[in-house]
Structure 1
């Protein structure tokens, strides 16, 4: 563990921010299941391929599926938890500039379209500092520049972390029973709440309703199962408590912007080389 932490400190603190003006680039297979909490002066664009990555900040856990990227602004403390050691992580770290677009001020998860995929593919062999004025720096800066124009939908692939211990128990119950249909009234009764008081607790602590939390958690689990490529769409729907495939498909589309079948058949374009 000490060796792993030392490696992370060396990488994130010493290298990423060593040259304040460079764009730092790092592409590699994860090779470990935890990058401990850290932060850096540069903003981070993290693209994942091959499996799911969880990114945890002080207030939220972000769920980064393959073929998506997360934008992490400068100075945001976060830890990274890949589901598999074989996840390919592609990182670009950008120095903060004056009068930047407000897009760069907020954390967010976005799908990678074909244009961005091709630009990321172009960076495939880069590693280390891209010096200001170099051709590679110009290309990387262009990637950053187009993000506010093409990333118009910040996907709700995040769940707030509960502050209230009582709510933590309820969310663990939801987590352990995603294959069943969970009714709000039953949860309230089981944990000794009136529906009204439990509704208030969710809104106060998580800033969302039970059904919003439950729906997002089911879809996030479905993404994990789809990426494993062991189950059909119908089987995945059943595993996360949907008896109707059309209902599951429509809910998945509302959250992710594509059908489960399209996501299942998506190609991993930026494969390891």
Structure 2
């Protein structure tokens, strides 16, 4: 939806401050530039991977998950394909909103929430107070803190130090290898202690934390886009042991790769 060349997320979302704004559509573009809303955004996607970039982090939004973006948070959206379907609900801020609604994060979508989202499939535009659709959408917002207890670590911070930027680029291009921290440190002229301190200071996490999450994000990409068998995905992200890969995936995502794939099959039948 466009008005004079502008997109709905610029012209329409905040036009009525009291409404819940709903938008379902194909992405139709490979970049939604940086913008913000006066309303909180619930974003669920189908058909591919979506990267959501805020000022502090780069989020990875796979199938069967949603991201909550609080009002005022500047963000851009980068889908893996123009054919990705976005399902958006934009909620007005309320005085009684609890802490859950004030923090950005990615959460899994369970069966109940999925059915509620799909019920809104044919809605688009402003949902006015007092309407049946407004009440249903409000129920979706209300249920989130009850079923979403843990933010998933499907995001990584941006490095700011030029030295660390080069190291991160190297890690990303060698994701299929098992990188030893000692060898990485030596390669870039650091002692292990000094590189550990740089990771903690600049990224707020250790090398092993960063490398583990980055490998799991790549694994999800391979599972979603290339439909590789789990043992091949494990090898592609540097694991020689499929059980070790499965255990790590479970620690990060809260489910094993096989369970994740089974849920994707269920999603495709909805």
TM-score range, shorter chain: over 0.9
Match of 1:121 in 2: 118
Alignment of 1:1-273 (within 5 A): 9-267=6-264
Shift of residue 180, structure 1, vs aligned partner: 0.6
| Residues 49 and 268 in structure 1, CA contact (< 8 A), matched pair in contact too | no
Q: Deviations over 1:107-153 (max 9, x none)?
A: 01000001101100110100010011100000000000010110001
Q: Deviations over 1:253-273 (max 9, x none)?
A: 011111111212323666699
Q: Deviations over 1:227-259 (max 9, x none)?
A: 024310000000000000000000000111111
Shift of residue 86, structure 1, vs aligned partner: 1.4
Q: Deviations over 1:22-60 (max 9, x none)?
A: 000011111111100000100000001121110000110
User: Aligned with 1:159: secondary structure?
Assistant: strand
Please give the TM-score of this superposition, normalised by the length of structure 2. 0.96
Change (3 A) 1:160 1:17: same
| Residues 226 and 236 in structure 1, CA contact (< 8 A), matched pair in contact too | yes
Tell me how far apart the structure 2 counterparts of residues 7 and 240 of structure 1 sit (CA, whole Å). Answer: 46
| Residues 121 and 270 in structure 1, CA contact (< 8 A), matched pair in contact too | no
User: Which stretches in structure 2 are left out of the alignment for 5+ residues?
Assistant: none
User: Which stretches in structure 1 are left out of the alignment for 5+ residues?
Assistant: none
Please give the TM-score of this superposition, normalised by the length of structure 1. 0.95
Shift of residue 88, structure 1, vs aligned partner: 1.2
Shifted more, 226-235 versus 190-199: the winner is: 226-235
